[in-house]
Every structure is written in structure tokens, then in C-alpha cells.
Amino acid sequence: MDTNSTIIEFDIGNKTSKEITASQFTGINDDPNKITWIHCNSHDQELLQKISGILQLPENINELLHDTSRIPRVEDTESSLTLKISSPLDILPHDKIHLEFTSLILYLTSHYCLTISGKTTPALKEFYEQRDKSLRFAKTPCFIAFIILDNILNDYSRIIFSFETLCDSLESQTRRAHKSHYRDVMRVKKFVIRTKRNISSIRDILMRISGRKISVVSEQCRKSLLDAYTHSQAIVSETDSLRDLLNSILDQIDNSLMHKMSETMTVLTAYATIIMPPTLIASIYGMNFVNMPELHWHYGYYYALGLMAGIALFLYYLFKRRKWF
């Protein structure tokens, strides 16, 4: 698949597809049995201007291209449907727990489907590679939009599954090694929240376009989009469960840290208790009073040292038996 432009013409009657280069593309075929999919890279301004001139795209497409925010959009008219959603660029998170998303613009009419994105997403690649198998669904250009949206939902499902596997691994490592993976868990939680935000916006868009009649969306496609909405709702529920699991892991880490802190305080308290009696004895015999009984005793110095060492050893033995060390 060309990362800059891809143009596929579907023949519904013969169940075939033909790829057209950007230089060969001159316009949409008027044959009702011909459906066209056009994909453009949003960074290729020259190609976008050419395609926009040939298709006579409305002004809102240009506005969406210059909109740098990731806010989802859905606009429908009597002759078109325009969507702006976030599509994942990675199906599985990297070793450093990082995911990237890109904005995908989908413009649907009764004759063609146009997609625009900064980078080619796995969902678009999958549709390109499986386009001939998808022809059995082809009746209107809406089938292109449905399959691409369904591929995006599948990509989000794979991401959530991979995060669940990663969380299970982090949880087992935390329990087994008593090692804090706080930073990794927080990074996973960050991307889970971002994934939920993206899939929630897609769910809301699917609910809107499947819940009412739109001219470019056939009744059969509307039912398929309703199934896609149900799928998106299930993914949102999975992300909520995953967030609960992450919060549980964070609680385990906090409890582990508190337990380690308690053990440390116990050891420090034990050593402070051991040092306290010798310090008290040394402070008592450090007073400069003339009438101290042991002041002129020949063995007074050794007696004081022995008393301090004896008490310290006794306390050490006592705390050792109680497993304070």
C-alpha cells in the first residue's frame, strides 16, 4: 500500500477491484456498479489539492485537515457523512510501553469513500490487503466505511488484550519479587485512559450514525454499524475492567511499600532501643560529681563498658528471637 495515496475502484457487479494511480485518476465513474476508495496522506498538499479539485470537496474537509486537536467530529449532510476519529498506529505496545495514534478523516458519499490521515494505519492496511474478500459486503460505498471502522475497533481490542497480558505479568512480578513497577503501571494506565477516550468517542459516533437515518448510509449498513456500536461498548467495558486491575496493582505496590517501610521502622526502632541503655549509662557516668561511688574504683571503667555491652547484647538477642531483624 502506497503511504501517500491509494485509489481502488470496486466493481460490485463483477466482484472485482482495480487499483488506480494518482496520475491516472481523473474523477469518479458514473457507473452505479462502480465504487471508489481514495486514501490520501494529509502531509501531501499537492496531492490533496488535486484530489480536492477533482472531487470538489467541501470546505469542512479543509478545516478538519488544519484542525490539530484530537477532538472527534461527525458531520452529515444530505449528500455526505464526515467523520474524524483517532486510529491506532500500533496494534501492540512496544517494550517501553508506548502507543501512537493518528487522526483519520473519513468522508463518505453515495459514489465514493475518501480517507485522509498523516500516517497509514493498520486498519487501512488490512482493508487494502483484504479488499477482495470484502467485496461480498459491497453494495454501497458505506461498506468501505464500515469495514475500516470495524478494523479500527479490532485494533483497539488487540491493544486492550495486550495491555491485559502486560498487567497480568506486572501483577505476578510484583507479587513474586516484591518489586515496585509503579512507573510501568502508571504508563500503562496513561495509555489505557487515552485508549478509552478514543474508543468512547468512536462509540458515541457509531451510536449517532446508527441510531438515525442518514442518506449515504444504507439500512443494511446502519444495522452493521449498530453491531459495531455494540462491539465498541464491549471494548469500553474492557477498558474499565483494565483500569480496575491497574488500580488493584497500584494498591498492591502501595501496600508493599508500606510493609517495607514498617519493617524498616521496626529495625530502626530496635537499634535505637539497643543503643539507648548504653547511652544512658554513658551519660550517667559522664557526670562530674565528686561523690560518685565508682569514681575512684579501679575496675569502674571496665564495669561500665561491660554493663553497656551486656545490656546491648541482651536486647539484640531478645529482638532477634522476636524476628525484628
- Cell 456498479, located at residue: 33
Q: Write the CB contacts of 166 (distance below 8 Å, at least 6 apart in sequence).
A: 93, 97, 188
pLDDT at 269 over 70: yes
The residue length of the chain stands at 325
SS3 content of the chain, % helix, strand, coil (to 5): 55, 15, 30
Residue ranges of the chain assigned to CATH 1.20.58.340: 257-321
What is the reported pLDDT for 95? 56
Q: What's the maximum distance between 2 C-alpha atoms anywhere in the chain?
A: 121
Q: Which CATH number fits domain 5-255: 3.40.140.10, 3.30.460.20, 3.30.70.520, 2.160.10.10?
A: 3.30.460.20
Percent of the chain exceeding pLDDT 90 equals 30
Question: How much is the pLDDT for 236?
Answer: 94
Cα atoms found within 13 Å of the Cα of residue 307, Cβ hemisphere only:
15
DSSP H or E stretch at residue 86 = strand 81-88
Q: Which part of the chain has CATH 3.30.460.20?
A: 5-255
Joined grid coordinates for residue 214: 442518514
Q: Is the pLDDT of residue 159 over 70?
A: yes
Report the C-alpha gap between 109 and 230 in whole angstroms.
24
Predicted pLDDT at 203: 94
Continuous segment of H or E residues that includes residue 106? strand 101-108
pLDDT number for residue 188:
87
63: Cβ contacts below 8 Å, ≥ 6 apart: none
- Lowest mean pLDDT segment, chosen from 48-57, 63-72, 140-149, 188-197: 63-72
Question: Considering only CA atoms, which of 127, 115, 85 is closest in space to residue 4?
Answer: 115
Q: Domain 257-321, what architecture?
A: Up-down Bundle (1.20)
Q: Average pLDDT of the chain?
A: 86
Confidence category of residue 180, pLDDT binned at 50, 70, 90: low
CA atoms within 13 A on the CB side of 297: 12
Cα–Cα distance, 270 to 263 (Å, whole number):
11
How does residue 40 score in pLDDT terms, banded at 50, 70 and 90?
A: very high
What pLDDT, in 10s, does the model give residues 10-24? Answer: 988 888 889 988 888
pTM over 0.85: no
pLDDT in the model for residue 154: 94
Cα distance between residue 144 and residue 131, in whole Å: 9
Tens of pLDDT, residue by residue over 78-126, are 889 999 999 998 766 655 677 889 999 999 998 899 999 988 899 999 9
Share of the chain above pLDDT 70, in %: 96
Q: Does pLDDT of 325 surpass 80?
A: no
Question: Does the structure show a pLDDT above 60 at 279?
Answer: yes
Q: What are phi and psi of 250, to 5 degrees?
A: -65, -40
What's the pLDDT tens digit per position in 92-105? 665 567 788 999 99
Residues 200-243 pLDDT 10s:
999 999 999 988 888 888 888 888 899 999 999 999 999 999 99
DSSP codes joined into one string, 264-324: HHHHHHHHHHHHHHHHHHHHHTTS--TT-TTTT-TTHHHHHHHHHHHHHHHHHHHHHHTT-
